[in-house]
Amino acid sequence: MAQEFHKFKKSIKTVEVTINDEKVKIPISYNLKAHEEYKKKFKESHDYKESFFTMLFDMIKSDWKFINEKQPMNIKKEDLQGLSKKIYVK
């Protein structure tokens, strides 16, 4: 079981960013739940950018504890919107 957990943890890509003057690794792993969040938000707002940030925030929330075991998640969706566009390409 520990080996499967380790493999899962390694499969999650991370991007290191600075949010609120703190360096954090944000986990990025596309999954069905994130896809559903994107579709739901887009249906409500018809805004691609808002839907993207909703999806991204959901991905981060889902896998945060696997990557940042000792660091509590104190990131808000609005914090993501302030990141450089270069980060999104990663």
Residue 29 and residue 62: Cα distance in Å, rounded?
Answer: 9
pLDDT recorded at residue 47? 93
pLDDT recorded at residue 27? 82
pLDDT recorded at residue 28? 79
Side chain identity at residue 25, one-letter code? K
Do residues 81 and 53 lie in contact, with contact meaning Cβ atoms separated by under 8 Å? yes
pLDDT recorded at residue 8? 65
Residue 2 and residue 6: Cα distance in Å, rounded?
Answer: 6
| pTM of structure | 0.75
Q: What are the domain boundaries of the chain?
A: 2-89
pLDDT recorded at residue 40? 96
Pairing mode, strands 13-19 and 22-28: antiparallel
pLDDT tens digits, residue range 6-63?
A: 666 667 788 888 887 888 888 877 788 889 999 999 999 999 989 988 998 898 888 8
Q: Which of 64, 73, 71, 74 is nearest to 28 (CA)?
A: 64
Over 90: is that where the pLDDT of 66 sits? no
| Structure token pair of residue 88 | 């999104």
